[in-house]
Structure 1
Amino acid sequence: MFNDSNRLRGVLRNMDIPLVFLTVITALFGILMISSAGGTRYVIIQSAAFFIGICGIVALMILDYEYLAQISLYLYAASVLLLILVLIPGLGAVRNGARSWFVLGPVNFQPAEVIKIAFIITFAKQLSENDSTINQPKTLLKLLAHLGILCVLILLQPDFGTASVFICIALVMLFTAKISWKYVAGGAAVVAAACPLLWFFVLQDYQKSRIISVFNPEQDPMGTGYHVIQSKIAVGSGKIFGTGLYKGSSQVNNLLPERHTDFIYSVVCEELGMIGAVLVILLLTLIILRCIYIGMNARNSLGTYICTGVAAMLIFQVFENIGMCLGLFPVTGITLPFFSYGGSSLVTTMLAIGLVLNVRYRCRMINF
């Protein structure tokens, strides 16, 4: 009995209780908003994903993150294999113009979501092994190949939004590894030079229309600009205190498409007003800051890179989704962590938090 008591105290002492609390509260808040935006069916599926996510966190807590890094080669190979399989007609299903889903009976699974976790682990492992040579061209080429293979396979779906998440994660992790500014400047110059080529030869017409609609949604109010216009109306109609939960006019009149997924933040603004909108941002900001804090106090660079990668993933998705709902960024289909409906998205987000908790749990020697 005495040993069990000591073990429990040891677990609690090394567990990051604030992050656990923030994760659970934010996920439950998200399920509440989905109940208003989508209905009972979506709540059941999202609740099941929440339970799976909790189980995933527990499983990750058992495995030392350094062990996960040791099997990074297998994780990367599995990631590449899944991204190849999903491109094969008959295996991968098309949703919203992208062949990015596996359909297993009643379960829809987007492999690129969970592969974000594998990428954070594998990229962190490669960075930790090359800390001292990060600015050598050979090392950078290997790192870019690591990222590039996954991004090319995702772009073949095509899914530019998800690919941009991977790129953001990699860039922030490279900054953390103190990549030289000359490479940053060179990369920015290459991107700037490539933009015209992407516009004229790579982007499809519907993707160009989404970008144009950000600047002038009224140009096609019943087409590409419709989502943006209705989202901005919903956001503005909430004012300070909102119309009330389950009482949003966009729900009653069925005006806002994808209420429970892409535009869940618009529903929050409409039904809970500015107070609810700020609360969502506050909760997500606290989670991100906690991830960064744990990374700064990790026991090694591997743990730091893992936490940085998770924080980068959350930051990019929060900025892009909220900016999309406010009409500041193009509509890309990137979900709002914890709030947008989607089992793959919620499980991935919770597994990411599980990685950070894993790093915190082992930030010092655990004594029972």
Structure 2
Amino acid sequence: MWNRLKAILADFIQQADLVLLGLCCAATLYGMVLIASATRYMDTSGMSGMIRYVGVQGAAMLLGLCAYVFMSMIDVEIVLKKWKWVLAFNIVFIGLLVTPLGVGGATTGNQAWLKIPGIPFQIGPAEIVKITFTLLLAKQLEWLREEKRDLKSFPAAAMVAGHTLLLMGYYVVISGDMGNALTFFFIFLCMAFAAGFALRWFALLFAGLGGGIAFVLLLDIVPASMDYMLNRFRVLFDHSYDSLGVGWQQSRSLLAIGSGGIFGQGYMQGTQTQSSESYSLPYRWTDFIFSVCGEELGLIGCLAVIALLTAIIIRVLLVARNAQVPLHCYVCVGMAAMLIYQTVINIGMCLFVMPTIGVTLPFFSYGGSSLLTLYAAMGVVSGIKKRSPVTRRPGRLLG
């Protein structure tokens, strides 16, 4: 058994994407440094809260490394031969949110988390379903190509869009979490573009969405449950609008980042980061970890965060570009889309140019299930990279 394990590890070291793994580890360790500072204020000793959060993140990283190795060995083409089981998993796993295991998230207040006894962190089904959804969508796109369907036709576009919108609707109805639901939508957009869908369908989609929103606003028929969400967009265009309510979190975030200047106030020296007052930076170890970086490490620290995440995304897209099997290309594009969406939304949220929708910063924000699934997703990309290429086929990224 020991010899078998050594052989597996040797094969992993020789063929897996160690550059991608190294970038992920660097981002995670950087994030843990920020989490340590962001949680130091929690008690007078400045240690118990910090040790707890950093410890959980460290344990998630170790599990993530195991997930990366394991997923690197998985052939997604074999897994997707059982695509019906993957689809059933998505439906059932999200459905667990309505069971006694479902709980409200600490940062979003939505019913979007599972608390499973014996696991030290809550599990967000959306985090895991992002991976399985990406695999299913890639399988669907490959099937359309193999069936010689015209990917520029309306039926093909409607089939893939329908799959996405049904999953989004199912998830939102159960969880109320629009932030993660939009991740599915962005993954769909990027994968459909990579597959070669006609640009007119994207234009029609956005025109329809824009028209629908305008119609609702003009007739003033916004449901009360959605009014708060719309206010999150209104405040982006007028920062003085409800500055003590819906705009308060982002106002504190912008103040923290601005006060850091180029080099920051110093690690563990941030005025808001180290304050326990109620008016200080909220959710500083999750949603607003980038603001902690800006306050304590300044512009230089923020640029390092952006550089690491950009390098990870570029690495994933390079694997997509070099893939010679359409399925592999689509999967990698979907994984990159997931990272791009979360990065842009979270940093934009901290800079007060995107709405607050509870999306965390990949690899940096605290969250055991999020970190674990990110490593699993990157493990899928690593497994694709090590697979021997076969017949080269056309596509926007495949040439």
TM-score of the superposed pair, with normalisation by structure 1: 0.93
Letter in 1 for 2:102: G
Alpha-carbon contact 1:234-1:250 (below 8 Å) kept: yes
Alpha-carbon contact 2:12-2:69 (below 8 Å) kept: no
- Residue deviations 1:289-321, cap 9 Å, x none? 010001111130111001100111101110000
1:290 aligns to 2:322 (yes or no):
no
Return 275-284 or 24-33, whichever deviates more: 24-33
1:93 aligns to 2:98 (yes or no):
no
- Structure 1 Cα separation of the partners of residues 388 and 352 of structure 2: 41
Alignment-derived partner of residue 177 in structure 2: 159
Alignment-derived partner of residue 121 in structure 2: 107
Structure 2: which 5+ residue stretches go unaligned?
40-49, 391-399
Structure 1: which 5+ residue stretches go unaligned?
none
SS in 1 for 2:353: coil
Alpha-carbon contact 1:16-1:360 (below 8 Å) kept: yes
Alpha-carbon contact 2:257-2:294 (below 8 Å) kept: yes
Letter in 1 for 2:103: A
Alpha-carbon contact 2:35-2:285 (below 8 Å) kept: yes
1:194 aligns to 2:223 (yes or no):
no
Letter in 1 for 2:310: T
Alpha-carbon contact 1:68-1:121 (below 8 Å) kept: no
- Residue deviations 1:202-258, cap 9 Å, x none? 562321222222222333232212111110010011111111111111122231000
SS in 1 for 2:112: strand
- Structure 2 Cα separation of the partners of residues 24 and 93 of structure 1: 30
SS in 1 for 2:345: helix
Return 270-279 or 192-201, whichever deviates more: 192-201
Alpha-carbon contact 1:214-1:228 (below 8 Å) kept: no
Letter in 1 for 2:181: A
1:69 aligns to 2:80 (yes or no):
yes
Letter in 2 for 1:201: V
- Residue deviations 1:37-76, cap 9 Å, x none? 1222111111111111111111112221211222222111
Alpha-carbon contact 1:85-1:91 (below 8 Å) kept: yes
- Structure 2 Cα separation of the partners of residues 24 and 240 of structure 1: 25
- Structure 1 Cα separation of the partners of residues 114 and 8 of structure 2: 41
Alignment of 1:250-265 (within 5 A): 250-254=272-276, 255-265=280-290
Alignment-derived partner of residue 16 in structure 1: 17
Letter in 1 for 2:137: F
- Structure 2 Cα separation of the partners of residues 244 and 298 of structure 1: 44
Alignment-derived partner of residue 311 in structure 1: 336
Alpha-carbon contact 2:96-2:114 (below 8 Å) kept: no
Q: 1:19 deviation in Å?
A: 0.9
- Residue deviations 1:303-340, cap 9 Å, x none? 10011001111011100000000000111110100011
Q: 1:10 deviation in Å?
A: 5.6
Alpha-carbon contact 1:31-1:339 (below 8 Å) kept: yes
Letter in 2 for 1:292: L
Alignment-derived partner of residue 144 in structure 2: 130
Q: 1:117 aligns with which of 121, 131, 136?
A: 131
- Structure 1 Cα separation of the partners of residues 101 and 256 of structure 2: 38
Structure 1 residues 231 and 130, CA gap change in structure 2 (3 angstroms): same
Alignment-derived partner of residue 46 in structure 2: none
SS in 2 for 1:250: coil
1:31 aligns to 2:32 (yes or no):
yes
Alpha-carbon contact 1:165-1:317 (below 8 Å) kept: yes
- Percent of aligned pairs with the same amino acid: 35
Q: 1:9 deviation in Å?
A: 6.8
Structure 1 residues 233 and 363, CA gap change in structure 2 (3 angstroms): farther
